[in-house]
């Protein structure tokens, strides 16, 4: 065997070994946090409307609770103290990823970890709330799905003006 052939063979084995080492281990159960900030328990209608579609989507993708993932549910009940306690619990569990519904839950998690990936839903402006660096490139450990595009706000105001032309104030802060 010539030197060049040996180096090629050795390099190929080294690359294949690294890829095999990084491959998902089928016997490892992934830990997934699910945080519904506005619901008080799993029986809460808000939780049912969040957890059911999430669970169904995970099952459709082949992720089964107790088989290849373990879902850790936490609820905040819309109360800041409970939201903070639940966020701290999820971070302590060191889950592989956390799905967070709503701004209070996502913000509480973001304050407690910058390493566990957080995927949010139902947040109107993650950039404006300081959760991501930009919409195009979130950066950090937080990403997700916005409720609507910010550009639609102007269209809503024009629509309100058409419906109620005498309207002088829309909202005050």
Tokens of residue 119, six digits: 């995927």
> What string of DSSP letters covers 2-23?
-HHHHHHHHHHHHHHHHHHHHS
Eight-state DSSP code of residue 171 = -
Rounded to whole angstroms, how far apart are CA atoms 9 and 3?
10
How many domains does the chain fold into? 1
Tens digit of each residue's pLDDT (9 = 90 or more) over 95-153:
999 999 999 999 999 999 999 999 998 888 888 888 888 877 888 999 888 766 666 66
Domain of residue 115, residue span? 30-153
The answer to whether 97 touches 119, Cβ cutoff 8 Å, is yes
Average pLDDT over residues 75-95: 95
Measured at the CA of 35, the angle between CA 121 and CA 113, to 5 degrees, comes to 90
Q: Is residue 162 in a domain?
A: no
The answer to whether 75 touches 48, Cβ cutoff 8 Å, is no
Q: Is residue 69 in a domain?
A: yes
CATH number at residue 115: 3.40.50.2300
More confident site: 135 or 71:
71
Q: In whole numbers, what is the pLDDT of the chain averaged over residues?
A: 81
């Amino acid at each position: 065997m010539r030197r060049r052939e040996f180096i090629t063979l050795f390099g190929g084995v080294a690359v294949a070994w690294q890829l095999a080492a990084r491959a998902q281990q089928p016997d490892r159960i992934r830990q997934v946090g699910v945080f519904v900030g506005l619901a008080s328990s799993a029986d809460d209608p808000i939780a049912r409307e969040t957890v059911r579609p999430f669970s169904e989507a995970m099952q459709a993708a082949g992720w089964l609770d107790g088989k290849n993932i373990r879902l850790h549910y936490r609820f905040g009940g819309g109360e800041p103290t409970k939201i903070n306690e639940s966020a701290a619990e999820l971070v302590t569990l060191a889950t592989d990823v956390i799905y967070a519904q709503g701004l209070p839950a996502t913000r509480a998690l973001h304050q407690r970890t910058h390493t566990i990936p957080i995927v949010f839903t139902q947040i109107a402006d993650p950039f404006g709330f300081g959760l991501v660096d930009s919409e195009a490139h979130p950066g950090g450990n937080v990403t997700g799905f916005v409720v609507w595009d910010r550009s639609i706000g102007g269209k809503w105001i024009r629509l309100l003006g058409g419906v109620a032309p005498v309207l002088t104030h829309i909202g005050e802060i």
